[in-house]
Structure 1
């Protein structure tokens, strides 16, 4: 797989990464053996960027990734996050960016991952109660200490990104970006490009919707997060299903899957963008990786844009409580 450079500090990763969240949380049934086999297959196929967070599980996803990369550390760019606080209450979500928390969270992640450094360390959500300079300053201290190589933010707005980057160079912003979540194009992407910061695109397959394989709300497991997502509910579900049907038609004519078309579209938006589709099965991983070979002509780009223009998706991308903690 080809490589892409994110930021100007020297971070080089595969042109497509692997989101590991669903292996431990949010998307129904889990199979650790298959998850680890999927990570191993990803590395065989040239995927180097593995994305996790301390809050996935919570905590167990980092441990899973740590077990999977044992003996393979030199082949992996490990990215993890801090800042969303979870407790024994499965519904609780707190936000913390205090410097002391940054330090303790990093040490805990290093232990769970069983590594001596984290390649890319993100603030998962911006803490509105703590100046971003204080949080990023503490993150910078981790770089100085050799515990972290590169810094990232997740779901941060343009002003926050600029303030953070002034405090310490930021290599990456992680944000939701896909055919049905194109908000970054308005202000975030121009800001990143002005500062020389890369974008890691999470949910590039619209949480699976853009694969064309989701056709009924009832098919989700009882504990599947998507049951709570506005885009998967009621009339929104039906409207979004209609959008995906159009993408399926274009993909069929190209001889690829809808998911591959969606991933190829994200990858075509710039060499400073790396999607991290999440999967917990080798079958879908291999399909996703094959998207790197799909090229989209200018005419096809225009057709896709007509079929699924910016803002076409029905419903917010998160429930109201989760949208409220996104820095804008």
Structure 2
């Protein structure tokens, strides 16, 4: 396992992080036994960060029980404050009083501590942030108060979609310790401004959607369908014909298997190798996923010219995430 040169809560951060959204109900009823095995296997392999959220339903409690059965060094546990309001809050700004009314940050943090069975959160993130809220307000006051009281070590925000530049002012303000945003082969734009700026200010960058919701694994086909209500139902058809997306995925096969054994491994290598990315989050709720993902990042790095070609020639800028959250 490779580790970042930036710590969170005084602990070293593995370049690959355990994304615990897979332990929510969004993928069906979670298998606690498999999830516990996956967490332990990831930690055994050197993963040092688990990222969950109040919005992930049973995820926090499942993570908490898995950690109580873990006898090794405790990982960094990151979670997110539950945001309220209409679904549209993920697609366009709404008033902060609607999303995080006064007291919501503290109430959510206290519930997270209870569900996780912890006395202190290593990292607490707002599960949404818009620049229209400014840099200060009751939400920031509540975050810093929790930090001052020792209930939280580090604070940060998770950005709603691909528009990473909205947080440039926040990451340079000195107010936060981390920022979470979308980074993948198709959308490496965060590498242009947010990532280097955050790195220079000592702000950790947690990359998510590194497999583009599974699209970059090559597993999505023209016939792939998701059940009604599934969070990916309609996702790959949100703004353009699916064939366009699949053609872009197919073009990446020129790098497989010479530089990576699979498309998924290529996608993981790309993000974990990018300078300034502290950790890349990926769902590893199935033990076999944990093994495959960890193996992918432990192999040789992509040559610099290959990395540059992928970054510049294979970007495919779109915002499915935004479109799917318009009411």
**TM-score normalized by the length of structure 2:** 0.84
Pair 1:140-2:144 in alignment: yes
For the residue of structure 2 that corresponds to 1:4, the secondary structure is coil
Deviation string, structure 1 residues 227-259 (Cα, Å, up to 9, x no partner): 132x34584421111111122331223351111
Displacement of 1:297 after TM fit?
0.5
Deviation string, structure 1 residues 89-114 (Cα, Å, up to 9, x no partner): 99998853345211111111101111
Number of aligned residue pairs? 315
Pair 1:111-2:117 in alignment: no
Partner of 2:35: 35
Partner of 2:272: 267
Displacement of 1:209 after TM fit?
0.8
Contact 1:98 1:130 in 2 (8 A): no
Contact 2:184 2:210 in 1 (8 A): yes
Distance 1:216 1:223, change over 3 A: farther
Distance 1:182 1:167, change over 3 A: closer
Pair 1:300-2:306 in alignment: yes
* Structure 2 unmatched ranges of 5 or more: none
Contact 1:6 1:272 in 2 (8 A): no
Contact 1:51 1:79 in 2 (8 A): yes
Distance 1:194 1:224, change over 3 A: same
**TM-score normalized by the length of structure 1:** 0.84
Pair 1:162-2:166 in alignment: no
Contact 2:87 2:326 in 1 (8 A): no
Contact 1:4 1:13 in 2 (8 A): yes
The separation in 2 between residues aligned to 1:255 and 1:61, in whole angstroms, is 31
Deviation string, structure 1 residues 48-78 (Cα, Å, up to 9, x no partner): 1101000112xx1111111111143842110
RMSD: 3.0
Contact 2:9 2:153 in 1 (8 A): no
Distance 1:247 1:105, change over 3 A: same
Q: Return the match for 1:150 from 151, 154, 159.
A: 154
For the residue of structure 2 that corresponds to 1:62, the secondary structure is helix
The separation in 2 between residues aligned to 1:9 and 1:35, in whole angstroms, is 25
The separation in 1 between residues aligned to 2:223 and 2:44, in whole angstroms, is 34
Contact 1:63 1:112 in 2 (8 A): yes
Q: Return the match for 2:219 from 195, 213, 224.
A: 213
